[in-house]
């Protein structure tokens, strides 16, 4: 199977399994998505989705968020982990959004990456899922699967993103990165992996994987 055929097999299989993948983090606008993605670092989407309704009931926009203290934010978001850093980031970026962008989330990735606690992946998710701009955010699932499928070297997420953007058509990026995440969770997890159920890896993956 050629590299081009492998890529098409991935696209076709994922499309058949997840034709309309939902955005896993609950949100109502770019700001609440930005906060939810920031909170999801080293946590699970399920846990974040339990905490964000509590946080957003008190503050679902930057103007209300800065009325809370960093300690108040930290107390609410403790269950998702890394709360000292995340609470400072949420407060800090909310303040900047008010001062520089009239409370709106900018729709340019370089401006998002300038905000406190917002890295490239977080900014890419917001660009893709809030603004519909073609992006390919790479999380642990995508990084793992691109390596297992022999479509990337697995050296680092930067290289994995470059490889994904090079191999897959741009018009599919926003849907495809979600499809890969769902596939990774269901069929190709890091632990408890049953290769027989993982049809993509079994068909096109690295032969030495156990």
Distance CA 130, CA 108 (A): 11
**Count helices and strands in the chain by DSSP H and E runs:** 12, 0
Catalytic one among 6, 60, 121, 163? 121
Task: Provide the 8-state DSSP code for 104.
Answer: P
Distance CA 206, CA 125 (A): 28
Backbone angles phi, psi at 90, to 5 degrees: -65, -45
Catalytic one among 139, 163, 195, 210? 139
Structure tokens at 43: 């946590």
Cβ-proximal residues to 198 (8 Å cutoff; 6+ apart), any chain: 187, 188, 205
Total number of residues shown for the chain: 210
**How big is the chain by its Cα radius of gyration, in Å?**
18
Distance CA 143, CA 40 (A): 17
Structure tokens at 134: 């073609």
Asked whether the beta carbons of 112 and 122 are under 8 A apart, the reply is yes
121 carries an active-site annotation: yes
Q: Which residues are catalytic?
A: 121, 139
């Amino acid at each position: 199977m050629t590299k081009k055929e492998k890529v098409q097999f991935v696209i076709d299989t994922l499309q058949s399994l997840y034709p309309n993948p939902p955005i896993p983090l609950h949100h109502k606008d770019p700001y609440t998505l930005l906060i939810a993605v920031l909170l999801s670092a080293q946590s699970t989407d399920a846990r974040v989705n339990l905490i964000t309704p509590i946080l957003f009931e008190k503050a679902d926009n930057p103007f209300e968020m800065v009325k809370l203290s960093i300690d108040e934010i930290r107390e609410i978001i403790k269950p998702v982990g890394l709360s000292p850093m995340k609470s400072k980031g949420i407060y800090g970026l909310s303040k900047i959004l008010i001062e520089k962008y009239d409370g709106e989330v900018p729709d340019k990735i370089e401006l998002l990456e300038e905000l406190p606690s917002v890295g490239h992946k977080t900014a890419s998710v917001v660009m893709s899922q809030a603004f519909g701009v073609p992006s390919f955010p790479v999380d642990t699932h995508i990084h793992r699967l691109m390596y297992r499928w022999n479509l990337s070297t697995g050296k680092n997420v930067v290289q994995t993103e470059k490889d994904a953007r090079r191999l897959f058509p741009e018009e599919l990026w926003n849907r495809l990165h979600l499809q890969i995440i769902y596939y990774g969770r269901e069929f190709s997890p890091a632990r408890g992996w049953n290769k027989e159920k993982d049809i993509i890896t079994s068909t096109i993956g690295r032969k030495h994987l156990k």
